[in-house]
Chain A
Amino acid sequence: MSGALNLLIGLAMGFSLVALASSRLPSVIRAAALQGMVLGSLPLLLEEQFQWLVVVVAGGTIVIKGFVIPSLLRRALRAANIDREVEPLLGFVPSLLLGAAAIIGAAALGSALPLLPEHSKTLLVPGAFATVVSGFILLIARAKAISQVCGYLILENGIYIFGLLLINSTPLLVEAGILLDLTVAVFVIGIIVDRIQREFDTLDTRKLTSLRE
C-alpha cells in the first residue's frame, strides 16, 4: 500500500519540479493539473475499505484540480494571448535548484518530526512540505499572473497532501469546506486575471507598480 502511495507522492513532487523548470505557461498549467489529479486519487489508496464518501471526495478533487481550474486558466491564457514566461524574476535553473533544495530540506524535516507508526514509512510529510515550498517559490519567482496562480495551486496541493494525514480524524465537513473554499479562491483569482488583462493588455504583474512608496 505505502509503496504505491509513495510512488504517487514522488510523481507529484516531480510535477512541481517540472512546473519550476518550464518556461511555457501551458506546460506549467499542465504540470499543476496532473499533480492535482495524482493527488486526488490518493485518498482511494489510503482507505482500507471501500467507502462511497471517499470516492466522491476523490472524484470531486480530480475533476476540480485536474479539469475545472486548468480550463479556467487556459481560457485566461487565450484571452491574454501569451504563452511564455519571458524574464522571470528568478531564472529557471536557480528556481529548479531551489526546488531540489526544498525537497532535501523537507526530507530532513520529515525525519526530524515525530510521526504516527502508520505514517512513518510514507512520504506524506516530506511530500507536503516540499510541494508547499515549490509552490511558494513559483509564486514569488515569476512575473506573469498565470504562473503565480499555478504557484498558488501547487502550494494548495501541498496542503492537501498534509490534510491526508488527518483524513480519518477530521470530520468530512471541514474537508468539504476546504475544497469549496480553495475552488472559489482560484475562481476569483481567475476572474481577476481576466480583469487585469482587460486593464493592462498583458498579464505582467511587474506592471502593477503604480501603488508604491
Chain B
Amino acid sequence: MRDLLLILIPLLAAGAAFAWPDERTRPRLLPVAGALHAGLTLWLLASPPQLAAGAWFGFDPVARAVLPMVSLLFLICALYGVAYLRIRTERRNRVFVTALLAALGLLSLALQAQNLGLLWVAAEAVTLVTVPLLHFNRTARAFEASWKYLLVGGTGIALSLLGTFCLGYASLLGHGRGDLTCLALVAQARNASLSHPWLVTAWVLLLAGYGTKMGLAPMHTWKPDAYGEAPGMVGALLAGGTTTMAFTAILRVKQVVDAAGPDEVVMTQRTLLAFGLFSMLVAALFLLGATDFKRMLAYSSVEHMGILAVGAALGGAGLAAALFHVWTNGLTKGALFLSAGNLRRAAGAQRAEAVAGMAWRAPASAGIFIAGILAVTACPPFGPFFSELKIVLAAFQNHHDFAAAAFLGCLLFAFFGLTRLLFAIVDGRPRAAARATGQRLREIPGVIIPPLLFLAGSLWLGLATPAWLRDAWSAAATFLTPTP
C-alpha cells in the first residue's frame, strides 16, 4: 500500500497542480509533494514491506538502494524550484510544475517496477513528461534540444521495448507463460529454460535501449543538448533521476541474463565494461575541448554513467560501490546543476568566451560550483572520491588491472578538462553583459541554500556513510547477483 502511495501522491499532486488557478502559489506544491514523498520513503526504509510473490511493483532491495536518493534529490530541487519560478515569472509554470510532479511519480513507479513490461511503460512515460521540462525556456535552442532528446531517446526506448518482447519470447520458448516479472524470469533462467539466442538478442537490444536513456557513449548524443538548454533544476533531475532509472533497468535485466549461467555472466560483464570504459574515454576527450559550462556538466554525466557501468560489470563489491556512486553522483550533480543555473542567469551566457569573473559577479554560486567540480572529479573528502575508490579496489580484486588503469587515466583527463573550463569562467574580469543582468538577478537565499544542501549531502556520504545505507547497497548487490 505504501509503495503504491509513493507513486500516487506525486501523480495526484500533478493533477492538483494542473487544476491550480494561481500562478504565484502553484510552485509551493513542489516542496509539499516532495516532503510527503521523502517522509514516506523514510518510513519504507525504516520498516521495509514484504514483497508479495508475483507483484508487478514493490519496494524491493533495489528500490531501497536507489529510490531514497531520487526522493531527496527531488525534495531539494523542489525547494530551489519555488525560488526559481519566482524569478522566472515571465513564463507560465502550469505545465512545468505538473510535468515535474508527474516525473517524480513515474520515476517512483519505474524504480519499483518488478515487471519488465511495466518498467518499460514507466520509462516511456518519464521520457514523455520530461519533454515540456526541456523546452521551458522556449528558445530556438531549447526546441532543438527537445527534438533531439525525443528522437534519440524515443528510438532508444523503442529498442528496449523490442528487447523486452524478445525476453518474453525466450520465456515462451522455454515453455513459460511469457511472464515478464523479474523473479519469474530469474527462476526460469536458473532452470536453463530461457532460449539462449533470444536471451542474447534481448540483452543487446535492452542494453542499447536503456543505455541510450542512461547516456552511455556512443548513444549519449542527446545529453549535451538537453542538459545545456534545460533549466538547472531539470538538468539535476535528469542527471540524477532518469539516468538512475535507466541504470536500475539495466541492472534488473542483467539479473535475469546472469541467472542463465556463467557464460551469460561473462557476456554481460564484458559488454558493460566495454561500454563503461568507452563512455569514460569519450567523455574525457570531449571535456578537454568543451567550451560551454552547462554542456561540460553533460559530458561529466556521461563519464559518471561510464563509471556506473564499470562498477556494475565488476559485480559483487563493485556493484555495491556503483550503487554508492549513484548516490554520490546524484547529490554532487545536484549542487553543480543548480549553481550552474545561477551562474548562467548571472552571466547571461554559457560559453567560456562570453563568461568570466563569476567569482565577483555571483560569489556564492561560483564558490559552490568550484566545490562541486572538485567533488565530482573525486577530490576527498567528498562522496564521489570514496565511491570511485571502492570501484577501483573492486577492479583490482577481480584482476581487471588494465580496466582499473584505463579508469584512472580517464578520471585524470576529465579532471584536466573540468578544471580548465572552471577557472576560465570563475577568474578574470566580468563581461559587460553580466554587469547589466547581475543587478537584476541577485543571489537570493532560495537559490543558494539548495545547492549548499546538496554539497553537504555529498560530504555527509563521504565522511560518514550511514550503516543503513551501506547495508541497503550490499543487500541490493546480493539480491542482483545470481546464486548457483
Contact = CB atoms under 8 A, between A and B. Distances in A.
Nearest to A140: B155
A61 to B, nearest CB: 15
Nearest to A193: B147
Interface in B103-121: 117-118, 120-121
Given A166-B168, A213-B290, A178 B155 contact: no
Going nearest first, the 6 A-B pairs with the smallest beta carbon separation are A169-B178, A174-B117, A177-B121, A181-B124, A208-B144, A211-B225
A208 B162 CA distance: 29
Contacts of B228: 211
Given A165-B169, A178-B161, A188 B131 contact: yes
DSSP class of B's interface residues: helix, strand, loop or mixed?
helix
A114 B173 contact: yes
A77 to B, nearest CB: 17
B128 A196 contact: no
Interface stretch (B41-49, B194-202, B258-266, B427-435): B194-202
B150, B162, B179, B228 interface centre (most CB from chain A within 10 Å): B162
Nearest to A181: B124
25 contacts: A128-B162, A145-B147, A148-B151, A155-B155, A155-B158, A156-B158, A162-B165, A162-B166, A169-B172, A169-B177, A174-B121, A177-B117, A181-B125, A181-B128, A185-B128, A185-B154, A189-B150, A189-B154, A192-B143, A195-B143, A210-B144, A211-B144, A211-B148, A213-B289, A213-B290
Interface of A: 112-116, 128, 132, 136, 139, 145, 148, 152, 155-156, 158-159, 162-163, 165-166, 169-170, 174, 177-178, 181, 184-185, 188-189, 192, 195-196, 199-200, 205, 208, 210-211, 213
A166 B165 contact: yes
Given A114-B197, A159-B158, A178-B161, A170 B117 contact: yes
Given A114-B197, A166-B178, A213-B289, A152 B151 contact: yes
B145 interface: yes
B172 A113 contact: no
A35 to B, nearest CB: 16
Contacts of B128: 181, 184-185, 188
